[in-house]
Amino acid sequence: MKNVILNNSVKMPTLGYGVYQIPSYDDCKKSVLTALEIGYRSIDTAQAYGNEKAVGDAIRESNIPRSELFITSKLWISDYGYHKVQNAFQQSLAKLQLDYLDLYLLHQPYNDVYGSWKAMEELNKAGIIKAIGVSNFYPDRLVDLIAYNEIIPALNQIETHPFHQRYEDQLTMRKYGVQHESWAPFAEGQHNFFTNELLGNIGAKYGKSVAQVTLRWMIQRDIVVIPKSVTPARIRENFEVFNFELTEEEMLAIKSLDRKASSFFDHRDADRVEWFSKLNR
């Protein structure tokens, strides 16, 4: 497995397994076990996904040594605030049945980001979170957080796929040593993603699928990927992306698919911010 080295020297697998929208306990536990059997060692969950217990049970049942795993969870905005983080974090740890997390993220750039970050910095210094980071932070919010705090986020997990490539965001992250991680690498199948002609033609040359070409394209851009699937054959397919390499021309050709806009929503949209504030997880 290829790794990236985060800005505090923590090693993180370039490819992980995401468990968003797997609400069923049985489906989630089974899928995580399948992923671990195939060879994934990094799992991305969140307080808001409601499946940390299933992830924890799968980890325990797998008998894989803790030191070989990289486990990420995220703090939900209803638990933001200096005095609330510790409790929310301990609840996540208890559900995951772990005594430390490898990575803990602020899930959204809303509410008391600063108080929460201070608490996360303390947990990081205490060693019970190996690295702390953010998610859905656009460059302006990211730079502001960096400017007024001690610890620079190790990573920013943002929507990134062929239709929203985030080259400019990545430049800002690079400038500050923040690792770029993609969520929704397949745009959750939107815009007929899985039958895209350009990606399909590139894949045909290597005997690879649209999904595999896309993951490979991001890995070659130094982006960490965490594809989600509950289908065992696809979980395996998404893991088999280390035995081919895209050419410069192919990397450039994929640039033409960039719509430079979210396929879901803009985090700066006022109605969306209000919607988030009413989402109690």
Tell me which residues in 193-232 interact with ligand NAP (CB under 6 A): 194, 209, 211, 226-231
Nearer to ligand NAP, 92 or 157 (CB): 157
Strand partners, 164: 161
- Options 16-24, 120-128, 168-176, 271-279: segment touching ligand NAP (CB under 6 A): 16-24
- Tell me which of 52, 57, 79, 237 binds ligand NAP, using CB under 6 A: 237
Q: How far apart are CA 35 and CA 182, in angstroms?
A: 18
Catalytic residue chosen out of the listed positions 49, 138, 167, 176: 49
- Binding ligand NAP (rule: CB under 6 A), the pick from 92, 135, 170, 172 is 135
- Least separation in angstroms between CB 3 and ligand NAP: 19
> Rounded distance, CA 35 to CA 229, Å?
9
49 is catalytic: yes
Cα–Cα distance, 211 to 157 (Å, whole number)? 19
Cβ 13 to ligand NAP shortest distance, Å: 14
Q: How many residues belong to the site for ligand NAP (CB under 6 A)?
A: 28
What SS3 state is found at 177?
coil
Residue number, 9 or 280, with CB nearest to ligand NAP:
280
State which residue has the least CB distance to ligand NAP. 18
Task: Single out the residue of 100, 234, 240, 251 in contact with ligand NAP (rule: CB under 6 A).
Answer: 234
- The number of angstroms, rounded, from the C-alpha of 277 to the middle of its chain's C-alpha atoms is 22
Q: Does 104 bind ligand NAP (CB under 6 A)?
A: no
Q: How far is the CB of 44 from ligand NAP (least distance, A)?
A: 4
Considering only residues 140 to 199 of the shown chain, the ones binding ligand NAP according to CB under 6 A are 157, 183-189, 194
**Of the candidate residues 10, 20, 115, 198, the single one contacting ligand NAP (CB under 6 A):** 20
Catalytically active residues, by annotation:
49
